[in-house]
Structure 1
Amino acid sequence: MTMPVIELREVSRRYDDGPPALHEVSLTVRPGEAVAVLGPSGSGKSTLLNLIAGLDRPDTGTVTVDGVRVDRLGEAGSALYRRSKVGMVFQFFHLLDDLTVADNVALPARLAGTARGEADRRAAELLDLLGIARHSRAYPGRLSGGERQRVAVARALVNRPALLLADEPTGALDTAAGEDVSRLLTDLNAEGQTVLVVTHDPALARSCTDRTVRIADGRITEDVRTRTVSPGAVR
Protein backbone atom coordinates (compact mmCIF):
# COMPACT_ATOMS: atom_id res chain seq x y z
CA MET A 1 0.00 0.00 0.00
CA THR A 2 1.21 3.51 -0.81
CA MET A 3 2.74 5.39 2.13
CA PRO A 4 0.44 8.12 3.48
CA VAL A 5 1.35 11.73 2.80
CA ILE A 6 -0.01 12.70 6.25
CA GLU A 7 -0.23 10.42 9.26
CA LEU A 8 -1.15 11.74 12.70
CA ARG A 9 -1.38 9.27 15.57
CA GLU A 10 -3.05 10.18 18.88
CA VAL A 11 -1.94 13.80 18.66
CA SER A 12 -2.74 16.15 21.54
CA ARG A 13 -1.80 19.80 22.06
CA ARG A 14 -2.64 22.03 25.00
CA TYR A 15 -1.78 25.71 25.51
CA ASP A 16 -1.34 27.08 29.03
CA ASP A 17 -3.99 25.79 31.45
CA GLY A 18 -6.94 25.78 29.04
CA PRO A 19 -8.69 22.79 27.51
CA PRO A 20 -6.76 20.85 24.83
CA ALA A 21 -6.64 22.53 21.43
CA LEU A 22 -6.38 18.99 20.05
CA HIS A 23 -7.13 15.78 21.93
CA GLU A 24 -5.87 12.40 20.69
CA VAL A 25 -6.44 13.19 17.03
CA SER A 26 -5.54 10.54 14.44
CA LEU A 27 -5.70 11.32 10.72
CA THR A 28 -4.35 9.67 7.56
CA VAL A 29 -4.25 11.33 4.14
CA ARG A 30 -3.19 9.27 1.12
CA PRO A 31 -1.38 10.52 -2.01
CA GLY A 32 -3.75 12.22 -4.43
CA GLU A 33 -6.46 12.98 -1.88
CA ALA A 34 -8.04 16.42 -1.51
CA VAL A 35 -9.20 16.80 2.09
CA ALA A 36 -11.06 19.67 3.72
CA VAL A 37 -10.77 20.24 7.46
CA LEU A 38 -13.89 22.08 8.57
CA GLY A 39 -14.63 23.67 11.91
CA PRO A 40 -15.59 26.94 13.60
CA SER A 41 -13.11 29.31 15.21
CA GLY A 42 -11.49 27.67 18.22
CA SER A 43 -12.24 24.13 17.04
CA GLY A 44 -8.59 23.16 16.68
CA LYS A 45 -8.25 23.26 12.90
CA SER A 46 -5.53 25.95 12.93
CA THR A 47 -3.58 23.97 15.54
CA LEU A 48 -3.88 20.91 13.31
CA LEU A 49 -2.53 22.85 10.33
CA ASN A 50 0.37 24.27 12.36
CA LEU A 51 1.37 20.80 13.54
CA ILE A 52 1.31 19.41 10.00
CA ALA A 53 3.30 22.41 8.75
CA GLY A 54 5.93 22.00 11.44
CA LEU A 55 5.11 25.39 12.95
CA ASP A 56 4.20 23.78 16.28
CA ARG A 57 4.83 20.50 18.10
CA PRO A 58 2.37 18.16 19.77
CA ASP A 59 2.53 17.44 23.49
CA THR A 60 1.86 13.78 22.74
CA GLY A 61 1.49 11.66 19.62
CA THR A 62 3.32 11.62 16.29
CA VAL A 63 3.09 13.71 13.10
CA THR A 64 4.56 12.19 9.93
CA VAL A 65 4.43 13.90 6.51
CA ASP A 66 5.85 12.20 3.40
CA GLY A 67 7.97 9.96 5.60
CA VAL A 68 9.32 12.76 7.83
CA ARG A 69 8.64 12.70 11.57
CA VAL A 70 7.73 16.38 11.81
CA ASP A 71 7.25 16.28 15.58
CA ARG A 72 10.95 15.43 16.04
CA LEU A 73 12.35 18.31 13.98
CA GLY A 74 14.26 21.23 15.46
CA GLU A 75 13.98 24.80 14.15
CA ALA A 76 16.42 24.34 11.26
CA GLY A 77 14.97 20.97 10.34
CA SER A 78 11.44 22.39 10.35
CA ALA A 79 12.45 25.19 7.98
CA LEU A 80 14.07 22.70 5.60
CA TYR A 81 11.01 20.45 5.82
CA ARG A 82 8.66 23.31 4.89
CA ARG A 83 10.82 24.24 1.91
CA SER A 84 11.02 20.71 0.57
CA LYS A 85 7.84 18.86 1.58
CA VAL A 86 5.03 21.39 2.05
CA GLY A 87 3.64 24.24 -0.02
CA MET A 88 1.50 26.71 1.92
CA VAL A 89 -1.24 29.04 0.67
CA PHE A 90 -2.70 31.59 3.07
CA GLN A 91 -5.78 33.80 3.17
CA PHE A 92 -3.82 37.03 2.68
CA PHE A 93 -1.26 35.87 0.06
CA HIS A 94 1.92 37.09 1.88
CA LEU A 95 3.59 38.11 -1.37
CA LEU A 96 6.57 40.49 -1.30
CA ASP A 97 5.48 43.75 -2.88
CA ASP A 98 9.00 44.81 -3.88
CA LEU A 99 9.58 41.65 -5.95
CA THR A 100 8.03 40.88 -9.31
CA VAL A 101 5.53 38.07 -9.65
CA ALA A 102 8.19 35.82 -11.19
CA ASP A 103 10.68 36.58 -8.42
CA ASN A 104 8.05 35.91 -5.73
CA VAL A 105 7.42 32.47 -7.22
CA ALA A 106 11.11 31.64 -7.68
CA LEU A 107 12.16 32.77 -4.20
CA PRO A 108 11.45 29.51 -2.29
CA ALA A 109 13.41 27.57 -4.90
CA ARG A 110 16.37 29.93 -4.55
CA LEU A 111 16.20 29.59 -0.75
CA ALA A 112 16.25 25.81 -1.19
CA GLY A 113 19.52 26.04 -3.13
CA THR A 114 18.19 25.79 -6.68
CA ALA A 115 20.31 27.62 -9.25
CA ARG A 116 18.79 30.91 -10.38
CA GLY A 117 18.26 29.78 -13.97
CA GLU A 118 16.46 26.61 -12.94
CA ALA A 119 14.36 28.46 -10.34
CA ASP A 120 13.35 31.03 -12.95
CA ARG A 121 12.44 28.29 -15.44
CA ARG A 122 10.29 26.52 -12.85
CA ALA A 123 8.58 29.80 -11.93
CA ALA A 124 7.84 30.54 -15.59
CA GLU A 125 6.46 27.02 -16.07
CA LEU A 126 4.08 27.40 -13.14
CA LEU A 127 2.93 30.89 -14.08
CA ASP A 128 2.11 29.58 -17.54
CA LEU A 129 0.33 26.52 -16.11
CA LEU A 130 -1.78 28.72 -13.82
CA GLY A 131 -2.67 31.20 -16.57
CA ILE A 132 -0.83 34.25 -15.25
CA ALA A 133 2.40 34.25 -17.28
CA ARG A 134 1.45 37.67 -18.70
CA HIS A 135 1.93 39.14 -15.23
CA SER A 136 5.40 37.68 -14.61
CA ARG A 137 7.13 41.08 -14.63
CA ALA A 138 4.39 42.91 -12.76
CA TYR A 139 4.40 43.62 -9.04
CA PRO A 140 1.76 42.01 -6.81
CA GLY A 141 0.09 45.32 -5.99
CA ARG A 142 -1.02 45.63 -9.62
CA LEU A 143 -2.92 42.33 -9.59
CA SER A 144 -6.44 41.43 -8.51
CA GLY A 145 -7.02 39.31 -5.41
CA GLY A 146 -7.66 36.18 -7.48
CA GLU A 147 -4.50 36.75 -9.51
CA ARG A 148 -2.43 37.25 -6.37
CA GLN A 149 -3.77 34.00 -4.95
CA ARG A 150 -2.73 32.23 -8.16
CA VAL A 151 0.76 33.65 -7.69
CA ALA A 152 0.73 32.37 -4.10
CA VAL A 153 -0.27 28.91 -5.33
CA ALA A 154 2.54 28.95 -7.91
CA ARG A 155 5.01 29.93 -5.18
CA ALA A 156 3.72 27.09 -2.99
CA LEU A 157 4.29 24.56 -5.80
CA VAL A 158 7.72 25.73 -6.97
CA ASN A 159 9.63 23.10 -4.97
CA ARG A 160 7.28 20.28 -6.03
CA PRO A 161 5.95 19.62 -2.51
CA ALA A 162 4.33 16.36 -1.50
CA LEU A 163 1.54 18.34 0.17
CA LEU A 164 -0.25 21.60 -0.60
CA LEU A 165 -1.70 23.19 2.55
CA ALA A 166 -4.32 25.88 1.97
CA ASP A 167 -5.47 27.94 4.97
CA GLU A 168 -8.78 29.71 4.15
CA PRO A 169 -7.51 30.27 0.57
CA THR A 170 -10.67 32.08 -0.57
CA GLY A 171 -11.34 34.01 2.65
CA ALA A 172 -10.07 37.35 1.31
CA LEU A 173 -11.57 37.00 -2.17
CA ASP A 174 -14.87 38.01 -3.74
CA THR A 175 -17.22 35.27 -4.93
CA ALA A 176 -15.95 35.10 -8.52
CA ALA A 177 -12.28 35.02 -7.52
CA GLY A 178 -13.03 32.47 -4.82
CA GLU A 179 -14.68 30.17 -7.35
CA ASP A 180 -11.66 30.61 -9.62
CA VAL A 181 -9.26 29.52 -6.86
CA SER A 182 -11.54 26.61 -5.97
CA ARG A 183 -11.39 25.40 -9.60
CA LEU A 184 -7.62 25.79 -9.54
CA LEU A 185 -7.31 23.57 -6.46
CA THR A 186 -9.61 21.02 -8.11
CA ASP A 187 -7.48 20.99 -11.26
CA LEU A 188 -4.25 20.59 -9.29
CA ASN A 189 -5.70 17.68 -7.37
CA ALA A 190 -6.93 16.08 -10.61
CA GLU A 191 -3.29 16.10 -11.75
CA GLY A 192 -2.26 14.21 -8.60
CA GLN A 193 -1.38 16.95 -6.11
CA THR A 194 -2.31 16.04 -2.53
CA VAL A 195 -4.25 18.96 -1.02
CA LEU A 196 -5.37 19.77 2.51
CA VAL A 197 -7.72 22.76 2.80
CA VAL A 198 -8.46 24.25 6.22
CA THR A 199 -11.66 26.28 6.12
CA HIS A 200 -14.92 27.18 7.83
CA ASP A 201 -16.72 27.25 4.45
CA PRO A 202 -18.66 24.05 3.57
CA ALA A 203 -19.19 25.29 0.00
CA LEU A 204 -15.43 25.45 -0.60
CA ALA A 205 -15.04 21.97 0.89
CA ARG A 206 -17.73 20.56 -1.41
CA SER A 207 -16.35 22.22 -4.51
CA CYS A 208 -12.66 21.24 -4.42
CA THR A 209 -12.16 18.25 -2.11
CA ASP A 210 -13.12 14.57 -2.11
CA ARG A 211 -13.18 14.14 1.67
CA THR A 212 -14.38 16.25 4.57
CA VAL A 213 -13.04 16.04 8.10
CA ARG A 214 -14.98 17.99 10.72
CA ILE A 215 -13.35 19.03 13.96
CA ALA A 216 -14.91 20.44 17.12
CA ASP A 217 -13.47 21.05 20.57
CA GLY A 218 -10.16 19.55 19.49
CA ARG A 219 -11.59 16.24 18.29
CA ILE A 220 -12.50 14.83 14.90
CA THR A 221 -16.27 14.41 14.88
CA GLU A 222 -16.80 13.33 11.27
CA ASP A 223 -14.69 11.98 8.39
CA VAL A 224 -16.69 11.54 5.19
CA ARG A 225 -15.53 10.74 1.66
CA THR A 226 -17.54 12.54 -1.01
CA ARG A 227 -15.71 11.35 -4.13
CA THR A 228 -13.47 8.41 -5.02
CA VAL A 229 -9.77 9.08 -5.53
CA SER A 230 -7.56 6.76 -7.55
CA PRO A 231 -5.05 5.04 -5.24
CA GLY A 232 -1.41 5.87 -5.75
CA ALA A 233 -1.96 9.15 -7.58
CA VAL A 234 1.33 11.03 -7.84
CA ARG A 235 2.20 14.70 -7.89
Structure 2
Amino acid sequence: MNDPVIDLRGVTRRYDDGPPALHDVSLAVKPGECVAVLGPSGSGKSTLLNLIAGLDRPDEGTVTVAGTRVETLGEAASARFRRAYVGLVFQFFNLLDDLTVLDNVLLPAHLAGAARRESREHATGLLATLGIGRHADAYPGRLSGGEKQRVAVARALVNRPALLLADEPTGALDTASGEDVRDLLNDLRDGGQTIVLVTHDLRLAEACATRTVGMRDGRVES
Protein backbone atom coordinates (compact mmCIF):
# COMPACT_ATOMS: atom_id res chain seq x y z
CA MET A 1 0.00 0.00 0.00
CA ASN A 2 2.90 2.34 0.77
CA ASP A 3 5.06 1.21 -2.15
CA PRO A 4 5.99 4.10 -4.45
CA VAL A 5 4.07 4.46 -7.69
CA ILE A 6 7.36 5.44 -9.38
CA ASP A 7 10.76 4.10 -8.36
CA LEU A 8 13.79 4.99 -10.51
CA ARG A 9 17.18 3.70 -9.44
CA GLY A 10 20.47 4.73 -10.99
CA VAL A 11 18.93 5.61 -14.34
CA THR A 12 21.20 6.80 -17.15
CA ARG A 13 20.15 7.47 -20.75
CA ARG A 14 22.54 8.33 -23.60
CA TYR A 15 21.59 9.24 -27.17
CA ASP A 16 24.99 9.93 -28.71
CA ASP A 17 28.64 10.39 -27.75
CA GLY A 18 27.95 13.58 -25.81
CA PRO A 19 26.93 13.95 -22.16
CA PRO A 20 24.05 11.66 -21.13
CA ALA A 21 20.53 13.07 -21.26
CA LEU A 22 20.05 11.54 -17.79
CA HIS A 23 22.88 10.56 -15.49
CA ASP A 24 22.46 8.27 -12.46
CA VAL A 25 18.98 9.56 -11.57
CA SER A 26 17.12 8.01 -8.65
CA LEU A 27 13.62 9.18 -7.78
CA ALA A 28 10.61 7.81 -5.90
CA VAL A 29 7.05 9.15 -6.04
CA LYS A 30 4.54 8.00 -3.46
CA PRO A 31 0.82 7.41 -4.05
CA GLY A 32 -1.11 10.68 -4.00
CA GLU A 33 1.90 12.92 -4.54
CA CYS A 34 1.91 15.69 -7.14
CA VAL A 35 5.53 16.17 -8.16
CA ALA A 36 6.62 19.02 -10.43
CA VAL A 37 9.84 18.47 -12.37
CA LEU A 38 11.51 21.80 -13.11
CA GLY A 39 14.59 22.75 -15.07
CA PRO A 40 15.85 24.54 -18.18
CA SER A 41 15.53 23.14 -21.68
CA GLY A 42 17.93 20.25 -22.13
CA SER A 43 17.97 19.38 -18.44
CA GLY A 44 16.49 15.91 -19.01
CA LYS A 45 12.88 16.54 -17.97
CA SER A 46 11.23 15.11 -21.07
CA THR A 47 13.62 12.15 -21.15
CA LEU A 48 12.65 11.41 -17.55
CA LEU A 49 8.96 11.50 -18.44
CA ASN A 50 9.46 9.25 -21.46
CA LEU A 51 11.31 6.68 -19.36
CA ILE A 52 8.58 6.66 -16.71
CA ALA A 53 5.94 6.20 -19.43
CA GLY A 54 7.86 3.36 -21.05
CA LEU A 55 8.24 5.37 -24.26
CA ASP A 56 12.02 5.07 -23.93
CA ARG A 57 14.43 2.74 -22.15
CA PRO A 58 17.44 3.51 -19.96
CA ASP A 59 20.95 2.40 -20.80
CA GLU A 60 21.53 1.74 -17.12
CA GLY A 61 19.33 1.45 -14.03
CA THR A 62 15.76 0.34 -13.37
CA VAL A 63 12.37 2.03 -13.85
CA THR A 64 9.51 0.59 -11.79
CA VAL A 65 6.01 2.03 -12.20
CA ALA A 66 2.98 0.63 -10.36
CA GLY A 67 5.03 -2.43 -9.46
CA THR A 68 6.14 -3.18 -13.03
CA ARG A 69 9.72 -2.98 -14.33
CA VAL A 70 8.80 -1.00 -17.42
CA GLU A 71 12.30 -1.01 -18.92
CA THR A 72 12.00 -4.78 -19.42
CA LEU A 73 8.78 -4.61 -21.46
CA GLY A 74 8.65 -5.08 -25.22
CA GLU A 75 6.88 -2.55 -27.41
CA ALA A 76 3.46 -4.25 -27.36
CA ALA A 77 3.59 -4.98 -23.64
CA SER A 78 4.68 -1.40 -22.96
CA ALA A 79 1.68 -0.06 -24.88
CA ARG A 80 -0.67 -2.33 -22.91
CA PHE A 81 0.95 -1.19 -19.67
CA ARG A 82 0.44 2.51 -20.52
CA ARG A 83 -3.21 1.94 -21.38
CA ALA A 84 -3.79 0.27 -18.02
CA TYR A 85 -1.65 2.30 -15.62
CA VAL A 86 -0.50 5.62 -17.10
CA GLY A 87 -2.47 8.64 -18.31
CA LEU A 88 -0.60 11.08 -20.56
CA VAL A 89 -1.39 14.78 -21.04
CA PHE A 90 0.58 16.76 -23.61
CA GLN A 91 1.20 20.44 -24.29
CA PHE A 92 -0.69 20.45 -27.58
CA PHE A 93 -3.65 18.22 -26.57
CA ASN A 94 -3.26 15.63 -29.39
CA LEU A 95 -7.03 15.35 -29.86
CA LEU A 96 -8.48 13.85 -33.06
CA ASP A 97 -10.45 16.57 -34.83
CA ASP A 98 -12.74 14.13 -36.68
CA LEU A 99 -13.97 12.55 -33.43
CA THR A 100 -16.39 14.14 -30.97
CA VAL A 101 -15.20 15.11 -27.52
CA LEU A 102 -16.79 12.00 -26.02
CA ASP A 103 -15.25 9.71 -28.64
CA ASN A 104 -11.81 11.26 -28.05
CA VAL A 105 -12.15 10.47 -24.35
CA LEU A 106 -13.36 6.94 -25.06
CA LEU A 107 -10.53 6.04 -27.44
CA PRO A 108 -8.09 4.65 -24.81
CA ALA A 109 -10.91 2.59 -23.27
CA HIS A 110 -11.76 1.08 -26.67
CA LEU A 111 -8.08 0.28 -27.29
CA ALA A 112 -7.91 -1.41 -23.88
CA GLY A 113 -10.96 -3.55 -24.66
CA ALA A 114 -13.02 -2.10 -21.82
CA ALA A 115 -16.77 -2.74 -21.68
CA ARG A 116 -18.44 -0.14 -23.88
CA ARG A 117 -21.40 0.75 -21.68
CA GLU A 118 -19.34 1.10 -18.52
CA SER A 119 -16.66 3.11 -20.35
CA ARG A 120 -19.23 5.45 -21.86
CA GLU A 121 -20.81 6.09 -18.46
CA HIS A 122 -17.40 6.73 -16.91
CA ALA A 123 -16.31 9.04 -19.74
CA THR A 124 -19.56 10.99 -19.55
CA GLY A 125 -19.10 11.34 -15.80
CA LEU A 126 -15.52 12.57 -16.23
CA LEU A 127 -16.59 15.23 -18.70
CA ALA A 128 -19.31 16.39 -16.30
CA THR A 129 -16.87 16.45 -13.37
CA LEU A 130 -14.38 18.47 -15.43
CA GLY A 131 -17.06 20.99 -16.34
CA ILE A 132 -17.31 20.22 -20.06
CA GLY A 133 -20.15 17.72 -20.17
CA ARG A 134 -22.14 20.05 -22.43
CA HIS A 135 -19.46 19.64 -25.11
CA ALA A 136 -19.63 15.83 -25.27
CA ASP A 137 -21.06 15.82 -28.83
CA ALA A 138 -18.99 18.76 -30.08
CA TYR A 139 -15.78 18.50 -32.09
CA PRO A 140 -12.45 19.73 -30.66
CA GLY A 141 -12.15 22.54 -33.20
CA ARG A 142 -15.07 24.33 -31.51
CA LEU A 143 -13.42 24.36 -28.06
CA SER A 144 -11.10 26.84 -26.36
CA GLY A 145 -7.57 25.82 -25.42
CA GLY A 146 -8.52 25.30 -21.81
CA GLU A 147 -11.50 23.16 -22.79
CA LYS A 148 -9.33 21.06 -25.10
CA GLN A 149 -6.90 20.43 -22.26
CA ARG A 150 -9.77 19.33 -20.04
CA VAL A 151 -10.78 16.85 -22.73
CA ALA A 152 -7.18 15.63 -22.85
CA VAL A 153 -7.18 15.14 -19.09
CA ALA A 154 -10.49 13.22 -19.25
CA ARG A 155 -9.00 11.00 -21.97
CA ALA A 156 -5.94 10.40 -19.78
CA LEU A 157 -8.13 9.40 -16.83
CA VAL A 158 -10.71 7.23 -18.60
CA ASN A 159 -8.90 3.97 -17.81
CA ARG A 160 -8.45 4.98 -14.14
CA PRO A 161 -4.64 5.08 -14.28
CA ALA A 162 -2.45 4.81 -11.21
CA LEU A 163 -0.34 7.67 -12.58
CA LEU A 164 -1.01 10.87 -14.52
CA LEU A 165 1.96 12.32 -16.45
CA ALA A 166 1.60 15.87 -17.75
CA ASP A 167 4.17 17.41 -20.11
CA GLU A 168 3.90 21.22 -20.08
CA PRO A 169 0.09 21.06 -19.67
CA THR A 170 -0.26 24.87 -19.63
CA GLY A 171 2.46 25.61 -22.19
CA ALA A 172 0.08 26.28 -25.12
CA LEU A 173 -2.60 28.10 -23.10
CA ASP A 174 -3.42 31.72 -22.39
CA THR A 175 -3.41 32.94 -18.78
CA ALA A 176 -7.10 32.29 -18.08
CA SER A 177 -7.03 28.79 -19.59
CA GLY A 178 -3.82 28.03 -17.72
CA GLU A 179 -5.53 28.95 -14.46
CA ASP A 180 -8.40 26.59 -15.34
CA VAL A 181 -5.96 23.73 -15.83
CA ARG A 182 -4.17 24.56 -12.57
CA ASP A 183 -7.49 24.40 -10.73
CA LEU A 184 -8.25 21.08 -12.41
CA LEU A 185 -4.89 19.56 -11.43
CA ASN A 186 -5.42 20.77 -7.88
CA ASP A 187 -8.78 19.01 -7.76
CA LEU A 188 -7.21 15.79 -9.06
CA ARG A 189 -4.39 16.03 -6.51
CA ASP A 190 -6.87 16.61 -3.70
CA GLY A 191 -8.77 13.54 -4.89
CA GLY A 192 -5.66 11.39 -4.42
CA GLN A 193 -4.45 11.12 -8.03
CA THR A 194 -0.69 10.61 -8.33
CA ILE A 195 0.67 13.22 -10.75
CA VAL A 196 4.05 14.07 -12.25
CA LEU A 197 4.26 17.43 -14.03
CA VAL A 198 7.07 18.51 -16.32
CA THR A 199 6.82 22.28 -16.60
CA HIS A 200 8.55 25.61 -17.01
CA ASP A 201 5.54 27.25 -15.31
CA LEU A 202 6.63 28.13 -11.78
CA ARG A 203 3.11 29.28 -10.91
CA LEU A 204 1.76 25.87 -11.88
CA ALA A 205 4.37 24.13 -9.73
CA GLU A 206 3.76 26.40 -6.75
CA ALA A 207 -0.01 26.02 -7.01
CA CYS A 208 -0.22 22.27 -7.58
CA ALA A 209 2.87 20.40 -6.47
CA THR A 210 3.31 18.74 -3.10
CA ARG A 211 7.02 18.46 -3.99
CA THR A 212 9.33 19.85 -6.67
CA VAL A 213 12.32 18.18 -8.30
CA GLY A 214 14.92 20.44 -9.91
CA MET A 215 16.96 19.08 -12.83
CA ARG A 216 20.03 20.38 -14.62
CA ASP A 217 22.35 18.69 -17.12
CA GLY A 218 20.62 15.34 -16.75
CA ARG A 219 20.89 15.18 -12.98
CA VAL A 220 18.52 15.75 -10.10
CA GLU A 221 19.87 18.99 -8.65
CA SER A 222 17.39 19.54 -5.81
TM, length-normalised to structure 1: 0.93
How far residue 115 of structure 1 moved from its aligned partner, in angstroms, is 2.2
Q: CA deviation digits over 1:19-41, x for unaligned, max 9?
A: 01000000000000000000111
Q: Secondary structure at the match of 2:213?
A: strand
Residue identity matched to 1:189: R
Matched, 1:146 2:146: yes
Pairwise CA distance, 1:198: 0.3
Structure 1 alignment gaps of length 5 or more = 223-235
- Counterpart residue type for residue 176 of structure 2: A
Q: Within 1, Cα distance between the matches of 2:212 and 2:203? A: 11
Using the alignment, how far apart are the partners of 1:48 and 1:17 within structure 2?
A: 19
2:68: which partner in 1? 68
Aligned length: 222
Task: Give the aligned residue type for 1:69.
Answer: R
Distance in 1 separating the partners of 2:160 and 2:33: 16
Q: Secondary structure at the match of 1:19?
A: coil
Aligned counterparts of 1:126 and 1:176: Cα–Cα separation in 2: 22
Structure 1 partner of 2:44: 44
3-state SS of the aligned residue for 2:8?
A: strand
Checking the alignment, whether the CA contact within 8 Å between 1:7 and 1:63 is kept in structure 2 is: yes
Judge conservation of contact 1:182–1:207 (CA < 8 Å) in 2.
yes
Whichever residue aligns with residue 87 of structure 2, its letter is: G
In structure 1, the partner of 2:159 is: 159
CA distance in 2, matches of 1:212, 1:21: 20
- Identical amino acids, percent of aligned pairs: 73
Query: Residue 121 of structure 1 corresponds to which residue in structure 2?
Result: 121
Equivalent residues of 1:100, 1:137 under 8 A apart: yes
Which residue of the partner structure matches residue 203 of structure 2? 203
**Map of 1:77-96 to 2, 5 A cutoff?**
77-96=77-96
1:161-197 Cα distance to aligned partner (Å, 9 max, x none)? 0000000000000001001101100100100000000
Consecutive unaligned residues of structure 2, counting only runs of 5 or more, are: none
Shift of the alpha carbon at 1:116?
1.9
Secondary structure in 2 aligned to 1:108? helix
